[in-house]
Chains A and B, each alone.
Chain A
Amino acid sequence: MKATDYLYLARKDIANFKLRSSLIILCIGAGILSSTLNLYHSSKRQEELLSSLSGMGSQMISIWIQDKEIQSKDLLFLSSYFPYTSYQVSGQNEIKSFQKIKKEARTIATVPQYQAVHSVRIKNGRFISSGDIKQRRKVCVIDTSMANELKVRVGKQIRIDHDGFRVIGLAKAEEMMSGQVIIPLSVCGEVIPSESRNFEVVILTSGNPDVLRKEIERILEKRFPDKKQKGRKGISFDNKRFMVSTAEGLLGMIKEQRWTSRMITLGIGLVTLILAGGGIINLIMLSVRQRYKEIGVMRACGARREEIFYLFLLQAVLLSFYGLLLAGIIGIGYVGVFGGCGFPIFLEGLLWSSIVCIGVGICGCFPARLAANISPWEAIRDAN
């Protein structure tokens, strides 16, 4: 039998079980789509973090304060050791312009050194100054893309939750991580609730980051004595009160997280697709059972065992392929509209899914083998 004839017969059979086939295709499509988009989103976020970290260079040391008892003022002494020290408290807030345009954003309350440490370039206006901090001015810096979205410019007011803040500067969008609002550190208590605050100190150094990291750890341990736990290379945990990391260590950690999240995503996809594989076996078994007589007739008409086997296997593979196609079309549409530049990541996910899909299609081997082994006379006699 020719390949085109196999396709013709298999498609006819799939069409015969419209509802069941559609459900299986939807199930496979949903499995592929959810795992691929999950992978796409987590990878995209991590890629953004990686690229922003890479952009900062390897001379950066970050300190995350995990103990809520430690306040930003307790660490101000670090500035006497390192002139380029940025203190930043972050949280999630709702931003609203006076045209009532809303947006979720990450609010960062910080000091003027933030600009030098994170290489923020101001396009219009100015960055946060020492005066803003001293006088607790309600001012903010946003990036140009957010300004366009909110339809605001320098000198206009925006609302962070319920507090009005005047926009004093617009940063170049490519220089900041998107969706961030920068405010003076001294007003953070008014907009970032203490329970959802993340406190981080970033130091830009000119020396060897690993040597400096150890030096910072030594200073912090002296000031906040506690039991020390050894961490991975480049990162140490001080009884979880704070974490000190070089940019290199942080990159390594993000890469490791990326690998873990990919494996988890693939695991979820695999479980979904294994279920779909079960569905395929079920559908093809049903098809074999319902077409028991037909298999006998086909064999009487001259069909060979292997032709029956490949016919049923092709049905399973086609169902899998249609699921993949459905996920691909929806996914490409989604990434095209909302994804921006993350297309290669999505395609990578789709490629992984295709490999799993082939496995799912091969699940059809079992019922196909049963069909091929049916005795033609028994099938015809059973029908009589």
Chain B
Amino acid sequence: MIEMNNITKVYQLGESRVEALKEVSISIEQGEFISIMGPSGSGKSTLLAIMGCLDVPASGTYLFDKKEVSNLTDDELSLLRNEKIGFVFQAFHLLPRFSALENVEIPLIYKRIPQNERKERAKACLEQVGLGHRMGHAPSELSGGEQQRVAIARALVNSPRLILADEPTGNLDSTSSQEVMDILSLLNSEKKITVVIITHNTQVAERTKKVYHLKDGQFINESN
């Protein structure tokens, strides 16, 4: 499903040149549940951004479903993100003016789904993550765990093939972390959705089937 070869990413910070990724190669099959661990500044989030087509590499090839991503136009990348990739962020990134239900509806708006169907699908996703009773609440009225579950519902609503989670438990207490990981595990085992988690937390990484370690922009080893 994902085939990355010799991916490099360079940031220009003033006059200094920082190599965030150094010829990274990774192959991820459909239905895998993996985590990428590494210290701060190791390039984990940069890798996730490139994997999620939010950023472009300086060099290397990236095939998503056997299609070279660098050949896609900006609109095609938007469509790819909308239909095939769901994102879960550490800081949840919910839109504060919208209710939980409206937040989950957002990807469906960009997919031009009619309003009634949109509401039905968003409700089903919220029920799936155990928030059927909190649909009308604004993000500020929800706990951290609940906000992250709304974010997962938003990532799920277009039935993506890949979920990319950047430190999904980073802002949560242990109980909420457990709940979020349970949901992600369930999505992987039952719906065969590929899940890639970026984390510092070894307990989170242990829940995944494969763990990659990244240091200074390079994979140092892989463990099962």
Contact = CB atoms under 8 A, between A and B. Distances in A.
Interface of A: 1-2, 4-5, 9, 12-13, 15-16, 293-294, 296-307, 375-377, 380-381, 383-384
A301 B54 contact: no
B109 A300 contact: no
A334 B98 CA distance: 39
A10 to B, nearest CB: 12
Interface in B87-138: 87, 89-91, 93, 95, 97-98, 106-107, 109-112, 115
Closest 7 CB pairs of A and B: A302-B82, A377-B54, A377-B55, A302-B110, A301-B107, A377-B49, A304-B78
30 contacts: A1-B110, A2-B112, A12-B97, A294-B93, A294-B95, A298-B106, A299-B78, A300-B52, A300-B81, A301-B107, A301-B154, A302-B82, A302-B107, A302-B110, A303-B78, A304-B74, A304-B79, A305-B75, A305-B78, A306-B75, A307-B110, A377-B49, A377-B54, A380-B49, A383-B93, A384-B45, A384-B89, A384-B90, A384-B91, A384-B166
Interface residues of B, number: 30
B3 interface: no
A8 to B, nearest CB: 8
B54 A380 contact: yes
Interface in B124-167: 154, 158, 166
Interface string B38-69: 00000001000100101100000000000000
B83 interface: yes
B93 A305 contact: no
A288 to B, nearest CB: 15
Given A297-B95, A300-B81, A304-B78, A1 B109 contact: yes
A309 B174 CA distance: 41
Contacts of A305: 74-75, 78
A304 B78 CA distance: 6
Contact of A380 (B79, B82, B93, B110): B93
A294 B95 CA distance: 7
Given A12-B97, A16-B97, A301 B110 contact: yes
B88 to A, nearest CB: 10
Nearest to B94: A297
B54 A9 contact: no
A13 to B, nearest CB: 8
Contacts of B55: 375-377
A381 B45 contact: yes
Contact of B75 (A12, A296, A304, A381): A304
